[in-house]
Amino acid sequence: MKQLLAVVFVLFTFRAYAVGWEESDKVAAIFKGSGVNGTFVLYDVTAQRLIGYGKARAETRFVPASTFKVPHSLIGLSVGAVESVDEVLPYGGHPQPFKTWEKDMGLRDAITLSNVPIYQSLARRIGLTRMSENLSRLDFGNGEIGTSIDTFWLNGPLKISAVEQTRFLAKLAQGALPFPRSVQKSVREIVLMERGENWALYGKTGWENAPNRGIGWWIGWVQKGDRVYAFALNMDIQQATDAKKRVELGKASLKALGIL
C-alpha cells in the first residue's frame, strides 16, 4: 500500500510540474549579445507555461546565495524568530565587507541592502531543526542545510534551480504557501521594487561567492492585473562589474516577452 501511495504521489507531482518549455529567440539574443553565460526563465502561471533561454541550465541547481533571504524571511516570521519585518536584529559588531552592513536593522532594510550578518543572526535564532522542517514545507530546492546554520545558503549544501525558484515565487505571489497569509503579505511587501499602472515588480538579487567570481541571481515576479509571471535569472559573474547585468538582463528579458 505504501509503495502504491508513493507511486501516486510521484505521478501527481510530475503532473503538477509538467509545464511545457518554450525557448525564446528574443531572450537568447539578449544573452548572446551581452556575452553572458546564463539562463532566464519566466513562469506564466495562468498559461502554465515556461518560456526563456537555456533550458538545461534553468533546470540545474546552484547555491541560492541572497535570494534565500525571501524564504528565510518567511521562515523567521512564521516561527516567531522575529515579530515583524521591522524588529531590529543585531549585526554582531564586527567589520563587514560593506559599511552599510555595519548596523543593527530589521528585515525590511536588511533585505534591501542584502545584509548577510543580519540574516545570519536570524538563522541562529531559528536554529537547524526549525529551519530544516520549514524548508521541507516550502519544497525549496534540495532542502539540504547541513550542520552550519548561518552559511548553508551561501556555501551550500542548499541548492535550487531557476525553474524551482519560479515555482516557489509563484506560490508566494498568490499567497499559496503553507504559511500564514499575513506572513506572506509582509514578505511580498519588502521585496517590492517598482510599481506602474496595473503592474508591480518584485525581486531579489543574489551573488554566490561575492565579491569574487561566482553565480549571480535575480529572481522575482511581475503582478500584472490578476496574472502572475514568476521569473528567475542566473549567470556566471566573471568580474565585479558583471553584477549589474543581473537586473539589466532580467528587465530586458521581461520587456522582450511583453511582461514589462
User: What span, in angstroms and rounded, lies between the C-alpha atoms of 26 and 23?
Assistant: 9
Task: Inform me whether the pLDDT recorded for 206 exceeds 70.
Answer: yes
pLDDT, residue 5, reads 42
Strand partners, 199: 196, 224
User: What span, in angstroms and rounded, lies between the C-alpha atoms of 123 and 82?
Assistant: 11
CATH number at residue 119: 3.40.710.10
**Catalytic residue check, 66:** yes
pLDDT, residue 12, reads 41
Residue 134 in any domain: the answer is yes
**How does residue 57 score in pLDDT terms, banded at 50, 70 and 90?**
very high
**How does residue 211 score in pLDDT terms, banded at 50, 70 and 90?**
confident
pLDDT in tens, 224-240: 999 999 999 999 999 99
pLDDT, residue 116, reads 97
| Residue 81 phi, psi (nearest 5) | -65, -30
Residue 15 in any domain: the answer is no
Residue 252 in any domain: the answer is yes
Residue 50 in any domain: the answer is yes
Task: Inform me whether the pLDDT recorded for 18 exceeds 60.
Answer: no
Q: Provide the residue range defining the domain that includes 101.
A: 20-256
Residue 9 in any domain: the answer is no
Task: Inform me whether the pLDDT recorded for 105 exceeds 80.
Answer: yes
Query: Whole-number mean pLDDT of the chain?
Result: 93
User: Per the structure, how many domains does the chain have?
Assistant: 1
What are 167's three cell numbers? 515555482
pLDDT, residue 47, reads 96
Give the pTM.
0.92
Task: Inform me whether the pLDDT recorded for 39 exceeds 50.
Answer: yes
Catalytic option among 66, 78, 114, 161 = 66
